[in-house]
Chain A
Amino acid sequence: MAALLAASGKAFGDVIRGTQPFSPFDYAPPETLPGGRWYFFSPDEARAVEAIVERLIPADDLSVSGKEAGCAEFIDRQLAGSYGSYERLYMQGPFQKGTPEQGDQSEFVPRARYRRGLAALDAWCRASHSKAFAELPGETRDEILSGLEAGKIELPGFDGRLLFETVLGNTMEGFFADPIYGGNKDMVSWKMLGFPGARYDYRDYVERHNEKLDLPPLSIAGRPEWKTRG
């Protein structure tokens, strides 16, 4: 009966009667892409983003850099996916600036923010420093990033602050998200913080107060030693 109704029911919506529409092993997987290539960035754009993320998250005794952790790969794959086009968001016009309390009102989706923003950044760097951003020394890149953050640098044809905020937000996502998305290589940020990742049961630990637990982190994809012969 339920199956009959489900089949004929399509005619007036997705009709559910009698039993829950449950199928064993049916699950909605995360949206991930395999590594080893760039999906959205051109070679110049990839170099520029790597040159940014290694300054936003520099290598030091706490962790590798954002570049080595895969933040640029993370951003590239996010831009290639549903996030890159803001397909889930409300993107109908008219677009107006609004008050700070009304939030991001830019008409540009993330892909456009990177494509236009990175081109504008390189144009600005070539005009003022005769080189692309990625070719500049680290300290100079820091000064430029600070200038963008403070709104003191005006890029030709794109809002520098919007570019900075977009890249900073995505870089932090890449550094701290599960490694399945291409960043946080070897769970480097989780080891640094003491965050155990995708573990799902702390019943044995909830009442161990003020104790350093040192739980090795776990990714949705498991741990590296699960995939090596013992």
Chain B
Amino acid sequence: MAVKLPRKDVVVIGLGWAGSIIANELTDEGLDVVAIERGPWRDTARDFNIATAADELRYNQRQELMVRPAQNAITVRNNASQTALPMRNWGSFHPGNGTGGAGNHWAGITFRFGPDDFRLKSYLTEKYGAAAMPEELTLQDWGTDWAEMEPHYASFDRIAGISGKAGNLNGVIQEGGNPFEGPRSEEYPTKPMRQPYGPTLFAEAARKLGYKPFPVPSALLSEAYTNPLGVTMGPCTFCGFCTNYGCANYSKASAITTVLPALVRKSNFTAVTNSEVLRVTLDRSGTRATGVVYVDSSGQEWEQPADLVVVSAFTFENVRLMLLSGVGKPYDPATNSGSTGRNYCYQTANSVQMFFDDKNFNSFIGGGAVGMGIDEFNNDNFDHSGLGFFGGGSIRVTPIGAAPIGSRPTPPGTPRWGSKWKSETQKAYLSTMSIGCEASSYAIRGNYLSLDPTYKDRLGRPLLRVTFDFPENDLKMAQYCTSRVAEIARAMGPRQIVERPMKGHWNSVPYQSSHVVGGFVMGTDPTTSSVNKYLQAWDVPNLFVVGASAFPQNPGYNPTGTVGALAFKAADAIRTLYLKAPGALVPA
């Protein structure tokens, strides 16, 4: 039986990027905020101490910073005819745990989505005609646009101190930046990162082919930076223990290095850690959230009443909590009805690997977001007429570090052990590089999230079930874009290139990206979306659900910059609209 606690103005679920930003904005408004986090409080000195942070076995192999599957797992299958089985260890993606969330061990690549992405269905229909749309796709508009999003992207960039070079300042194209980005209102807060050899070589080859390479926008800072909250970060040292690791240098922007040190000092903020929210409680009418019920680490249940509930966990947990709480109607692919669980998308990861005889990349030098990219083959930056698919990808070289348990490239056909394995491994270690293509993932009717009928978590609640396979559209796109990448690779003159477009079924085993999106999506129509453009639940106006769960499909960009922008957008709507007139901000 849950013990009832005194009422709060706001309860926030999860203290990753989205929850920390919103909690900070709402405490600025004078509201009394409690945030509930299922994992521990993370501290750089304790959790990623510089004496022991460079530990591949602990952080990469044993996944120290990720949520333990024993606490919270998912089940997976490729289609509805299969029985979903648990992902017993994280493979394809790496959900985080504790304050900072997956934002502690992320790579730090911080793109903004393109202006057309927010009205993708309308844009493609206007340009190519409804008949050109592949029948399988269920694309949707977000219900917002670039003009509404840009100020919030700028807020996120300033909080995180993002390093980069603008390509479009107030509509004027800038030399050295990404000419395809939407018009920015201001330059990046910190200058671009210096570049190792691989990205430089790629940029030269791309430039010769007529492309416009730019430094990848990075949450690993190029220089010391103090953000608007007065929190200071240090410069990245290119240590190469970055993606899947916490940063011991306070160089990688995360909620714990940018927001929480300021937020925790406020008298109207409380964090409750090691406590897992079981459900959002609704009143009898089902149209008003009354608070949350959570369980602490001793197993005691508590009811936390609140006037406003903000759900800002990882995509999977946002959607599972809505299904467990009975918010919205569960999506059913058979009847194409319901919205909770709808439009689940991923990212389509492709790469081209290059083996050289005469180059030394010192590939242990790097970081998750250190690199150079081009955007000529992303989204609709190239003409899709007659191609038979839509979408594209961000093409780039980002050497993330090459700790050798996980990073041992060898040419195809190399044995996996023995003397030949060893000599090929030694030969390729410093002289191999690859170009990645992080590509779009578009929605289809059969890809969705639901509650698993069989498998339960340690508290007896159903696991979230992921039903996903790559759409034909995305596999065609992968083939096309990877061929373009291979042309650049050939121009770099390697001994051998290996093209790896995404092919076949989605495989849950190898890591691809943690860019899981959708399931509780933004939109204009309550029958096909769950939240309005302010991230406010259609059915429950005092409930805001914020995160990549709101993306109706995923462009060829990393999602975190947009998650941060949506957090600022939701907070702004609460501050400037909702508090003045609590109720639905968009008529249903």
**Interface contact A18-B264, CB-CB below 8 Å:** yes
- Count of interface residues, chain A, beta-carbon cutoff 8 Å: 79
Indicate which residue in A86, A88, A178, A209 contacts B56 across the interface (CB closer than 8 Å).
Answer: A178
**Interface contact B70-A206, CB-CB below 8 Å:** no
Within 270-291 of B, Cβ neighbours of A (below 8 Å) are at 270-275
Indicate which residue in A12, A190, A200, A206 contacts B196 across the interface (CB closer than 8 Å).
Answer: A206
Interface centre among A13, A16, A102, A220 (most CB of B within 10 A): A13
Q: Given that A13-B275, A19-B264, A172-B405 are contacting pairs, would A178 and B55 also be in contact in the complex, using a CB cutoff of 8 Å?
A: yes
Cβ proximity bits A45-83 to B, threshold 8 Å, 1 near / 0 not: 000000000011110101100000000000000000011
Q: How far is the CA of A63 from the CA of B429 in the complex (A)?
A: 15
CB neighbours of A105 from chain B (8 A):
85-86, 88
**Interface contact A195-B239, CB-CB below 8 Å:** no
Q: Does chain A have a CB within 8 A of B206?
A: no
Q: Does chain A have a CB within 8 A of B296?
A: yes
Q: Does chain A have a CB within 8 A of B230?
A: no
Indicate which residue in A89, A101, A194 contacts B69 across the interface (CB closer than 8 Å).
Answer: A89
Q: Does chain A have a CB within 8 A of B57?
A: yes
Q: Does chain B have a CB within 8 A of A99?
A: yes
Q: Does chain B have a CB within 8 A of A137?
A: no
Interface centre among B241, B274, B418 (most CB of A within 10 A): B418
The B interface is mostly helix, strand or loop, or mixed, namely loop
- Count of interface residues, chain B, beta-carbon cutoff 8 Å: 96
**Interface contact B423-A101, CB-CB below 8 Å:** no
Q: How far is the CA of A99 from the CA of B77 in the complex (A)?
A: 9
Interface-facing stretch out of A34-42, A90-98, A119-127, A152-160: A90-98
Interface centre among B5, B49, B505 (most CB of A within 10 A): B49
Cβ proximity bits B65-92 to A, threshold 8 Å, 1 near / 0 not: 0001110010011100011011111010
Cβ proximity bits A95-134 to B, threshold 8 Å, 1 near / 0 not: 0101111111100000000000000000000000000000
The chain B residue with its CB closest to the CB of A17 is: B270
**Interface contact B405-A173, CB-CB below 8 Å:** yes
CB neighbours of B311 from chain A (8 A):
none
Q: Does chain B have a CB within 8 A of A198?
A: yes
Q: Does chain A have a CB within 8 A of B46?
A: yes
Q: Does chain B have a CB within 8 A of A228?
A: no
**Interface contact A28-B46, CB-CB below 8 Å:** yes
CB neighbours of B46 from chain A (8 A):
22-23, 26-28
Q: List 9 A-B contacts (CB under 8 A).
A: A20-B43, A27-B52, A62-B422, A90-B70, A101-B505, A176-B56, A195-B404, A206-B238, A212-B360
Leading 3 A-B pairs by shortest Cβ distance: A198-B54, A90-B73, A90-B69
Given A18-B265, A62-B426, A209-B200, 8 more contacts at CB 8 Å?
A13-B273, A20-B43, A28-B49, A90-B87, A104-B89, A105-B88, A200-B239, A207-B194
